[in-house]
């Protein structure tokens, strides 16, 4: 199906705009599907991303700037995300011992346990969403999307 038909646009749009609109539309669908999985667990996709980043630190603390740099969706409200995760007992923060102006953020054992539960659900949803593509098509899609990353300067 053409994106113009899906969005009920009466005229053809230029190819470059069609590509961008298609990417944005698909991004919205992916976010919506993943959020459906996370909503019953009272966590947002961005909070889930923060937890995965902290787990990847393998016990080492991360700063707010580290989290912002590694976020899939770059945002300025990382402090608010971390505060929500602290209230849920999934992360903790403390003053950095060598630089008192920095905050160290670590995932708790409860956060690691929570991720283990959620990972299974997210993994299943990701497999379901990509199941329309065979391995060759999925690899080609990743290659093509990677070519668009060159614009991020």
The domain ranges of the chain are 3-131
- Among 30, 7, 42, 55, residue whose Cα is nearest residue 145: 30
CA 64/CA 71 separation, integer angstroms: 11
Mean pLDDT of 44-62: 94
At residue 148 the predicted structure's pLDDT band, cuts being 50, 70 and 90, is confident
Tell me which DSSP letter residue 7 carries.
Answer: T
Mean pLDDT of 28-38: 95
Beta-carbon count within 10 A of 51 CB: 24
14 three-class SS: coil
Contact criterion met (CB below 8 Å) for 81 and 46: yes
Q: Is the pLDDT of residue 107 over 90?
A: yes
Q: How do residues 112-134 score in pLDDT, each as one tens digit?
A: 999 999 999 999 999 999 999 99
CATH number of 3-131: 1.10.10.10
């Amino acid at each position: 199906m053409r994106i113009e038909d899906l969005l009920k646009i009466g005229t053809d749009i230029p190819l470059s705009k069609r590509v961008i609109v298609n990417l944005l539309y698909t991004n919205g669908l992916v976010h919506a599907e993943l959020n459906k999985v996370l909503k019953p667990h009272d966590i947002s996709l961005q909070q889930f991303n923060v937890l995965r980043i902290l787990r990847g630190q393998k016990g080492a603390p991360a700063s707010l700037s580290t989290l912002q740099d590694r976020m899939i969706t770059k945002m300025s409200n990382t402090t608010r995300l971390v505060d929500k995760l602290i209230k849920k007992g999934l992360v903790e923060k403390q003053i950095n011992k060598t630089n008192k102006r920095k905050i160290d953020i670590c995932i708790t054992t409860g956060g690691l346990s929570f991720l283990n539960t959620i990972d299974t659900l997210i993994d299943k949803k990701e497999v379901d969403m990509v199941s329309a593509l065979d391995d060759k098509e999925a690899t080609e899609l990743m290659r093509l999307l990677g070519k668009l990353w060159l614009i991020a300067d």
